C-alpha cells in the first residue's frame, strides 16, 4: 500500500500547489497536461485471471503506471465503435455530449475537486475529457479544426486520462443537482468505464467482486456454508448479548419474504451489527422470511462495470425469489443496490410480475411504490412498523451515542429517501443533530470511495475526496458533541469508518438497524441488557441489589407458623 500522507501534510499540499479554488491560473491548457500515475493516485488494474473468468477482452497482467498498457491492435477503433454504438443506444449520453454550455455551475460541486484542487476533477472538465473526443472524432468542426473547436483524437494519452479521472468519480451525481440542464456526469463516467472495458482497461477492486458475485453469489466469493456459518455466529453473539435465540431460515421455500442485503453485513465491521439489528427486528415481529445462500449479495458492482453485468447480477435476486416462491423481496441497507433496483430494474429485468405487490404482513400497508420492482427498502418497512406502533423501543439504550445522519448518495439523491431514515433514527435515539445545510439531503457529500474505489492502494485520493463530508462531521462533533454518523449504505459504513479515523478521530459509524437493534425491547430478553450490539457496556444501570441472605431460622422443637415441618 502506498504511504498515505498525514492529515496535516495533505491539507498543506492543498495550500502549497497552485489551486483553482484560490484563483491560481494553470500554466498550460488542460489538453497539454498529461496524467502522471504514482503510488496512491490510481487503483490497481484488473488481473488477467479475473478478466478471463468474466470472459472480458484482453486479459493480461499490467498496471496503469506501465508505459505499455498492452492494448490490442486497433484499440482506438474498438473504443470509437463502442462510442458510436452508445451514442445511438443511450439518448441521454448523446444529449450530454451536445448541450453543456460550460457555465461552470457544477465546477466546485465535486468532492474530488474540493479535496484535490485538480481542474480535471471539476465535473465540467471531467465530462470534457470524453466530449473532446466526441467533437474530434464525430463532429465536422472538431475533425477539421481540432483543439480550436474543442476536439481531439483518441490517443493513448487520452485513454490514460480517462482511466485516471473516471476512476476519480464516484458517480455520486452531486454535480447534476446544480446543473441547469440536468447533465448527469455520473452517466458519462459510466459510459467511459464501459468503453475502457472493451479493450481490457478496468480496475481489480471492481472486477474481482463482480467475478466472485457472478460465480458464488457474493463479492467475497464465499460458498453457501461459509455464508450460513457467518450469520449463525452473529446469532450466537445476539444470544450472548440479549439472551434471545434466533434461528435464521436459509433457502426456505414458500416464505412471505426473501431478505437480501449486502454481504458486508454478514462479514465486515461495522455492518455485522446492522445484520444483528435486522435479525432482532424480524424476530420481534415474527416475520416469515428466508435468506438465500445464492442471492447472498445485494450489492451490484455490475453498475460500476457495464450495463450487461449489472443486468446479470440483478437478475440473480429475482431468480432466487422465483425459485423460493416468496411473495416479495425485502432489501437491506445498501446504496447502489437500490440505485439499480430503483432506476434500472424495470427496463433490465422487470417488471417482476411473478411476485406480489409488497404488503407488510404486520401492518397491512401496501408498498405501491414497489408495485413493479416488488422490492421494499428495509427503512421504509421499519418506518411503517414504527408509525403503526408495532415495535417496543427504548431509545435510551442508544444514549451513549449522539448521532447525525449521512444521506448516502444513492438512497438520497437517486431515490429521494430523506424522511424515512430520519424518522426511524429519531425513534430509536434521543440525541440527534443534522450536519450543515448544503451537505445533506439532495446536496449530500459523498463518502469519497463509492463506485468500487474503496481500495487501500487508493487511500490518499479517498481521503481527499472525503474531505468535504469529514468537514461537516467535524463541525457537528465540535458544535454538538456528535460521536456517531449513521447511514444506510454498506460501502459508506466501511469507507466512512476509515475517513473518520483519518479526519475526525473519535467519530464512529453505524448502520441504522444497529441502532434499531439496540433499542428493541425483546420479549424474554435478559434484564438488564448490559451490552449493546458491539458488546460494549455503555449502560448506566444500577446493579440490582444482592438479595439479603435469609436468616437461619432458629431451631426449635415447635412446629413452624405455617404448620410445616422445619428442615432438618
Ligand atoms: S458524479 Fe460526483 S464524483 Fe462524479 S463528477 Fe459529479 S460530483 Fe464528482
Ligand atoms: S453545470 Fe451543466 S451546463 Fe454548466 S458546465 Fe456543468 S455540466 Fe455544463
pLDDT digits (tens, 9 = 90+) for 235-244: 999 999 999 9
Taking the CB of residue 525, how many other CB atoms lie within 10 A of it? 14
**In the structure, what pLDDT confidence band is assigned to residue 548 with cuts at 50, 70 and 90?**
low
Instruction: Tell me, in angstroms, the distance from the centre of ligand 1 to residue 12's CA.
Output: 24
Nearest ligand by distance to the CA of 188: 1
Enumerate the H helices of 117-184 as residue ranges. 123-138, 140-145, 156-166, 174-178
User: Residue 252 class from Cβ within 10 Å (0-12 exposed, 13-18 middle, 19+ buried)?
Assistant: middle
Task: Give the CA distances from residue 38 to residues 29, 350, 411, 529, in Å, rounded to whole numbers and listed in that order.
Answer: 22, 44, 34, 51
State if residue 74 touches ligand 2 by the CB under 6 angstroms criterion.
no
Instruction: Tell me, in angstroms, the distance from the centre of ligand 1 to residue 335's CA.
Output: 16
Summarize pLDDT for 30-67 with one digit per residue, the tens.
Answer: 999 999 999 999 999 999 999 999 999 999 999 999 99
Summarize pLDDT for 176-187 with one digit per residue, the tens.
Answer: 999 999 999 999
Contact 522, 546 (CB under 8 A): no
| Cα–Cα dist 525/92, whole Å | 54
Count of all residues that appear for the chain in the document: 568
CATH of the domain at 121: 1.10.1060
Residue found under cell 438520497: 412
Lowest mean pLDDT among 49-53, 121-125, 271-275, 539-543: 539-543
| Cα–Cα dist 172/184, whole Å | 10
* 535 phi/psi in degrees, rounded to 5: 65, 25
Residues 174 and 225 in one domain: no
Residues 267 and 151 in one domain: no
Q: Which residue has the higher pLDDT, 226 or 23?
A: 226
Which atom, in ligand 2's list, is nearest to the CA of 96? 7
CA-based nearest residue to 131, from 159, 97, 96: 97
Per-residue confidence (pLDDT) for residue 568, from 0 to 100:
28
| Cα–Cα dist 19/119, whole Å | 8
Q: Which three cell numbers stand for residue 321?
A: 425469489
Contact 262, 225 (CB under 8 A): no
- Residue 79 belongs to some domain of the structure: yes
Per-residue confidence (pLDDT) for residue 13, from 0 to 100:
86
Per-residue confidence (pLDDT) for residue 20, from 0 to 100:
80
- Residue 354 belongs to some domain of the structure: yes
Task: Please report, in angstroms and rounded to a whole number, the separation of the first and last CA atoms in the chain.
Answer: 75
Nearest ligand by distance to the CA of 113: 1
State if residue 103 touches ligand 2 by the CB under 6 angstroms criterion.
yes
Parallel, antiparallel or unpaired: strands 328-331 and 375-377? parallel
- Residue 540 belongs to some domain of the structure: no
Residues 66 and 122 in one domain: yes
Residues 400 and 297 in one domain: yes
**In the structure, what pLDDT confidence band is assigned to residue 23 with cuts at 50, 70 and 90?**
confident
562: CB partners within 8 A, 6+ apart: none
Does the structure show a pLDDT above 60 at 559?
no
**In the structure, what pLDDT confidence band is assigned to residue 543 with cuts at 50, 70 and 90?**
low
Residues 192 and 248 in one domain: no
Peptide bond into 28 cis (omega under 30): no
324 SS3 class: coil
Contact 161, 35 (CB under 8 A): yes
Task: Give the CA distances from residue 247 to residues 253, 289, 368, 447, 528, in Å, rounded to whole numbers and listed in that order.
Answer: 16, 11, 31, 35, 23
Pocket residue to mutate for ligand 2, from 95, 105, 189, most atoms within 8 A of Cβ? 105
Summarize pLDDT for 458-499 with one digit per residue, the tens.
Answer: 999 999 999 999 999 999 999 999 999 999 999 999 999 999
Residue found under cell 461552470: 104
State the residue range of the domain holding 419: 208-519
Per-residue confidence (pLDDT) for residue 326, from 0 to 100:
98
Instruction: Tell me, in angstroms, the distance from the centre of ligand 2 to residue 99's CA.
Output: 9
Residues 431 and 357 in one domain: yes
CA-based nearest residue to 341, from 265, 421, 411: 411
For ligand 1, atom 8: residue with the closest CA = 110
Which atom, in ligand 2's list, is nearest to the CA of 127? 7
Parallel, antiparallel or unpaired: strands 328-331 and 289-291? unpaired
Residues 222 and 152 in one domain: no
Q: Of 201, 221, 251, which marks where a domain is finished?
A: 201
Cα angle 301, 458, 110; round to 5: 75
Instruction: Tell me, in angstroms, the distance from the centre of ligand 1 to residue 118's CA.
Output: 13
Average pLDDT for 104-127: 96
Residues 286 and 389 in one domain: yes
Per-residue confidence (pLDDT) for residue 16, from 0 to 100:
81
Residues 74 and 164 in one domain: yes
Contact 412, 441 (CB under 8 A): yes
Does the structure show a pLDDT above 80 at 373?
yes
Peptide bond into 367 cis (omega under 30): no
Q: Which helix (H) or strand (E) holds 465?
A: helix 459-465
Q: Of 201, 231, 258, which marks where a domain is finished?
A: 201
Does the structure show a pLDDT above 90 at 502?
yes
State if residue 45 touches ligand 1 by the CB under 6 angstroms criterion.
no
Residues 247 and 139 in one domain: no
For ligand 1, atom 7: residue with the closest CA = 110
| Cα–Cα dist 174/250, whole Å | 39
| Cα–Cα dist 491/489, whole Å | 6
- Percentage of the chain beyond pLDDT 70 is 95
Q: Which residues pair with 250 in a beta bridge?
A: 291
State if residue 110 touches ligand 1 by the CB under 6 angstroms criterion.
yes
| Cα–Cα dist 291/330, whole Å | 10
Contact 435, 476 (CB under 8 A): yes
For ligand 2, atom 2: residue with the closest CA = 179
For ligand 1, atom 4: residue with the closest CA = 169
State if residue 127 touches ligand 1 by the CB under 6 angstroms criterion.
no
- Residue 543 belongs to some domain of the structure: no
State if residue 173 touches ligand 1 by the CB under 6 angstroms criterion.
yes
Per-residue confidence (pLDDT) for residue 558, from 0 to 100:
40
- Residue 561 belongs to some domain of the structure: no
Residue found under cell 408495532: 390
**In the structure, what pLDDT confidence band is assigned to residue 21 with cuts at 50, 70 and 90?**
confident
Which atom, in ligand 1's list, is nearest to the CA of 122? 5
Does the structure show a pLDDT above 60 at 443?
yes
pTM for the model? 0.93
| Cα–Cα dist 421/488, whole Å | 8
| Cα–Cα dist 338/330, whole Å | 11
- Residue 321 belongs to some domain of the structure: yes
Contact 544, 526 (CB under 8 A): no
Per-residue confidence (pLDDT) for residue 19, from 0 to 100:
80
Instruction: Tell me, in angstroms, the distance from the centre of ligand 1 to residue 174's CA.
Output: 6
Nearest ligand by distance to the CA of 116: 1
Q: Which helix (H) or strand (E) holds 473?
A: helix 467-480
Per-residue confidence (pLDDT) for residue 560, from 0 to 100:
39
Instruction: Tell me, in angstroms, the distance from the centre of ligand 1 to residue 443's CA.
Output: 12
**In the structure, what pLDDT confidence band is assigned to residue 445 with cuts at 50, 70 and 90?**
very high
Does the structure show a pLDDT above 60 at 6?
yes
- Residue 388 belongs to some domain of the structure: yes
**In the structure, what pLDDT confidence band is assigned to residue 562 with cuts at 50, 70 and 90?**
very low
Mean pLDDT for the chain? 93
Instruction: Tell me, in angstroms, the distance from the centre of ligand 2 to residue 97's CA.
Output: 11
Residues 138 and 253 in one domain: no
Per-residue confidence (pLDDT) for residue 546, from 0 to 100:
59
Q: Which helix (H) or strand (E) holds 89?
A: helix 75-89
Pocket residue to mutate for ligand 1, from 162, 169, 468, most atoms within 8 A of Cβ? 169
Residues 183 and 212 in one domain: no
Summarize pLDDT for 280-289 with one digit per residue, the tens.
Answer: 999 999 999 9
Instruction: Tell me, in angstroms, the distance from the centre of ligand 1 to residue 452's CA.
Output: 14
- Residue 25 belongs to some domain of the structure: no
State if residue 186 touches ligand 1 by the CB under 6 angstroms criterion.
yes
**In the structure, what pLDDT confidence band is assigned to residue 544 with cuts at 50, 70 and 90?**
low
User: Residue 281 class from Cβ within 10 Å (0-12 exposed, 13-18 middle, 19+ buried)?
Assistant: buried
For the chain, what is the domain count? 2
Amino acid at each position: 500500500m502506498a504511504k498515505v500522507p498525514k492529515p496535516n501534510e495533505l491539507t498543506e499540499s492543498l495550500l502549497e500547489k497552485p489551486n483553482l479554488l484560490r484563483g491560481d491560473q494553470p500554466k498550460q491548457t488542460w489538453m497539454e497536461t498529461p496524467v502522471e500515475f504514482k503510488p496512491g493516485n490510481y487503483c490497481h488494474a484488473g488481473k488477467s485471471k479475473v478478466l478471463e473468468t468474466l470472459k472480458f477482452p484482453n486479459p493480461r497482467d499490467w498496471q496503469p503506471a506501465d508505459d505499455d498498457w498492452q492494448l490490442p491492435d486497433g484499440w482506438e477503433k474498438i473504443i470509437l465503435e463502442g462510442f458510436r454504438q452508445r451514442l445511438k443506444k443511450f439518448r441521454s449520453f448523446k444529449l450530454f455530449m451536445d448541450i453543456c454550455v460550460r457555465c461552470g455551475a457544477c465546477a466546485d460541486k465535486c468532492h474530488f475537486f474540493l479535496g484535490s484542487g485538480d481542474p480535471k476533477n471539476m465535473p465540467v472538465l471531467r465530462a470534457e475529457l470524453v466530449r473532446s473526443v466526441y467533437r474530434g472524432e464525430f463532429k465536422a468542426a472538431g475533425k477539421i479544426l481540432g483543439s480550436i473547436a474543442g476536439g481531439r483524437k483518441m490517443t493513448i494519452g487520452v485513454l490514460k486520462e480517462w482511466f485516471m479521472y473516471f476512476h476519480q468519480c464516484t458517480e455520486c451525481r452531486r454535480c447534476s443537482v446544480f446543473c441547469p440542464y440536468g447533465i448527469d456526469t455520473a452517466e458519462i463516467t459510466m459510459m467511459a468505464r464501459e468503453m475502457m472495458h472493451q479493450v481490457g482497461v478496468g480496475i481489480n477492486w471492481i472486477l474481482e467482486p463482480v467475478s466472485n458475485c457472478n460465480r458464488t453469489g457474493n463479492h467475497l466469493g464465499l460458498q453457501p456454508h461459509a455464508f450460513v456459518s457467518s450469520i449463525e455466529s452473529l446469532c450466537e453473539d445476539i444470544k450472548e448479548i440479549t439472551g434471545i435465540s434466533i434461528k435464521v431460515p436459509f433457502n426456505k421455500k414458500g416464505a412471505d419474504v426473501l431478505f437480501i442485503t449486502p454481504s458486508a453485513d454478514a462479514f465486515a465491521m461495522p455492518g455485522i451489527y446492522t445484520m444483528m439489528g435486522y435479525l432482532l427486528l424480524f424476530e420481534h415481529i415474527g416475520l416469515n422470511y428466508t435468506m438465500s445462500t445464492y442471492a447472498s449479495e445485494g450489492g451490484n458492482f455490475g453498475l460500476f462495470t457495464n450495463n450487461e453485468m449489472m443486468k446479470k447480477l440483478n437478475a440473480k435476486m429475482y431468480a432466487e425469489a422465483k425459485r423460493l416462491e416468496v411473495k416479495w423481496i425485502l432489501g437491506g441497507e445498501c446504496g447502489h443496490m437500490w440505485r439499480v433496483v430503483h432506476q434500472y430494474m424495470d427496463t433490465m429485468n422487470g417488471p417482476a410480475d411473478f411476485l406480489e405487490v409488497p404488503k407488510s404482513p404486520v401492518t397491512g400497508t401496501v408498498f405501491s411504490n414497489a408495485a413493479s420492482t416488488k422490492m421494499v427498502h428495509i427503512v421504509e418497512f421499519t418506518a411503517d412498523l414504527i408509525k403503526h406502533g408495532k415495535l417496543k423501543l427504548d431509545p435510551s439504550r442508544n444514549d451513549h451515542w449522539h448521532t447525525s445522519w449521512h444521506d448516502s448518495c444513492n438512497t438520497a439523491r437517486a431515490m429521494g429517501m430523506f424522511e424515512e431514515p430520519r424518522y426511524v433514527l429519531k425513534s430509536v435515539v434521543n440525541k440527534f443533530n443534522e450536519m450543515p445545510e448544503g451537505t445533506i439531503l439532495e446536496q449530500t457529500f459523498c463518502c469519497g470511495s463509492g463506485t468500487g474505489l474503496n481500495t487501500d492502494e487508493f487511500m490518499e485520493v479517498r481521503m481527499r475526496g472525503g474531505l468535504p463530508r469529514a468537514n461537516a462531521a467535524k463541525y457537528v462533533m465540535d458544535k454538538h458533541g456528535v460521536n456517531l454518523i449513521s447511514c444506510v449504505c454498506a460501502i459508506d459504513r466501511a469507507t466512512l469508518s476509515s475517513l473518520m479515523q483519518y479526519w475526525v478521530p473519535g467519530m464512529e459509524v453505524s448502520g441504522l438497524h444497529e441502532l434499531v437493534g439496540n433499542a428493541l425491547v425483546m420479549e424474554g430478553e435478559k434484564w438488564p441488557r448490559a451490552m449493546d450490539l458491539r458488546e460494549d457496556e455503555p449502560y448506566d444501570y444500577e446493579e440490582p441489589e444482592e438479595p439479603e441472605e435469609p436468616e437461619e431460622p432458629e431451631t426449635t422443637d415447635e412446629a413452624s407458623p405455617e404448620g410445616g415441618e422445619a428442615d432438618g
